[in-house]
Structure formats: C-alpha cells, structure tokens
C-alpha cells in the first residue's frame, strides 16, 4: 500500500473527530427533565386534567397545537374544548399558558433536553411566572 502510514494516521484522526460526541459524553448521564405542573392555577384544581391525557400530551402536544392553529386561523373554527366542565380555548397563549404559566419549567426544560427549538415564542408570548 502506497503511503500506508499516512493513510492509517489520517483514518485514526478522522475516527477520533467523528466519534468525539460519543466518547466525550461516555459515562455521563444527562439529567432527565421533570416538567413541573406546579403553578397557582393548576394547584387550585381538584382534578388536574388537560384536553387529553398526560401521556398523549407528552407525545402529541405539537400535533394538537398544529391542528388548533389550522382550525382557528384558517378555518375560523374557534369553538372551545370542554373537558370535565372546564373550558379550554384553542390557543397557545390564551389556552395552554393560562394553566401552564411556568414556561421555563414546563416547556423549556424538555425542549432543551431534546434539542428542539420551537419558534412559537417568536410571536406568542407569556407573562413571566408570577406576573399573571
């Protein structure tokens, strides 16, 4: 093999760089996020219920929001969702955030863990915890 030593050294350097993310994190465990529902509104509820089960919302909340967005903005279907006698508006700002007013603990923690940067907050906003 011509220039065998150079090729092997090159391959080793390439592998070292390509696998850097693997071995640099080896043995360290990332802390699992624990989204908190500790907000004044939720604490006052007798039955802590959202529009769907917690399991479903964990997996599918983005699809729910996407569906609401199309229904409200494009189709003008602004009818509210009633679960267990409580009324929910189909809105991130006027629905979700009314109860989940702790954005940093409830939204951001998981999003940063998963490396997801939703651009919802470029336009939608919430009053900081405690200001509401």
Which residues in this chain contact other proteins in the complex, by CB under 8 A?
A: 69, 73-74, 76, 78, 93-94, 119, 122-127
Residue with token string 């907000």: 39
Question: How many other C-beta atoms lie within 10 A of the C-beta of residue 100?
Answer: 20
Ramachandran angles phi, psi of 26, nearest 5°: -65, 135
Beta bridge partners, 81, equal 88
Residue (34 or 74) nearer to other proteins, CB: 74
The span from the CA of 41 to the CA of 37, in Å, is 9
Residue (55 or 75) nearer to other proteins, CB: 75
The span from the CA of 31 to the CA of 7, in Å, is 40
The span from the CA of 47 to the CA of 19, in Å, is 48
Residue 72 · residue 65 · CB < 8 Å: no
In total, the chain counts a number of residues equal to 132
Residue (56 or 125) nearer to other proteins, CB: 125
> Least distance to other proteins from the beta carbon of 89, Å?
10
> Least distance to other proteins from the beta carbon of 125, Å?
7
Residue (50 or 97) nearer to other proteins, CB: 97
> Least distance to other proteins from the beta carbon of 126, Å?
8
> Least distance to other proteins from the beta carbon of 122, Å?
4
């Amino acid at each position: 093999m011509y220039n065998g030593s150079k090729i092997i050294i090159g391959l080793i350097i390439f592998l070292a760089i390509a696998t850097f993310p693997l071995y640099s994190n080896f043995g360290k465990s990332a802390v699992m996020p624990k989204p908190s529902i500790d907000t004044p509104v939720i604490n006052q509820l007798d039955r802590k219920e959202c529009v769907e089960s917690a399991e479903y919302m964990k997996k599918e909340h983005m699809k729910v929001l996407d569906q609401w967005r199309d229904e409200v903005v494009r189709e003008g279907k602004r009818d509210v969702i009633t679960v267990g006698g409580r009324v929910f508006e189909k809105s991130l700002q006027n629905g979700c955030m009314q109860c989940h007013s702790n954005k940093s603990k409830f939204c951001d923690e998981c999003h940063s863990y998963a490396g997801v940067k939703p651009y919802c907050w470029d336009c939608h906003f919430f009053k900081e915890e405690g200001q509401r």
